Amino acid sequence: MIRKARIADAAAIHRLLSNYAGEGKMLSRSLAEIYQVIRSFYVYEELGEVVGIVSLQIWWEDLAEVRSLAVDASQAGKGCGRQLVQACLDEARELGIGRVFALTYQQDFFARLGFGVIDKSALPQKIWGDCVKCPKFPNCDEIAMLRTP
């Protein structure tokens, strides 16, 4: 079941993000940061346990980002990630946001969901709002992908 995150989910969100960050698949986020943006998160819950998460970050009137997509290894290949991304796309559509992007190492996954590769320079709000703070900047190795919901 997918639902909007609650305060009580913050520790589980942090755990999933930390697992992926430890593998170098995404940047870590502190528990304090998670509390600050908890309303942007969706969780995938199974048998009362949070096993997948994603966040929709709005950058501009027509631009949002699918970020912090993390799924517990026990759920890999079961459609959890796809459903989480779809929840973000649905929300973006409801808000009237015409473009949704992701920075990812999982190009094939996002391509199957209708995202296409773009140049990162097409995302100045992201680059100057977030990327400049990243230790990998300006040599980011993530792939920028975009979809219109």
pLDDT of residue 128: 46
Query: Any bridge partners for residue 46, and if so which?
Result: 49
For 2-147, which CATH superfamily applies? Gcn5-related N-acetyltransferase (GNAT) (3.40.630.30)
pLDDT of residue 148: 83
Q: What does the pLDDT look like over 73-101, one tens digit per residue?
A: 998 889 999 999 999 999 999 999 999 99
The CA distance from 50 to 45, in Å, is 4
Question: Is the pTM here over 0.85, yes or no?
Answer: yes
Q: What is the mean pLDDT of residues 48-61?
A: 95
Q: What is the mean pLDDT of residues 28-47?
A: 95
Structure tokens at 95: 């808000």
Collapsing DSSP to helix, strand or coil, 26 comes out as coil
The CA distance from 148 to 64, in Å, is 10
Q: What does the pLDDT look like over 101-148, one tens digit per residue?
A: 999 989 999 999 999 999 888 886 665 455 445 556 556 678 899 998
Q: Where are the domains of the chain?
A: 2-147
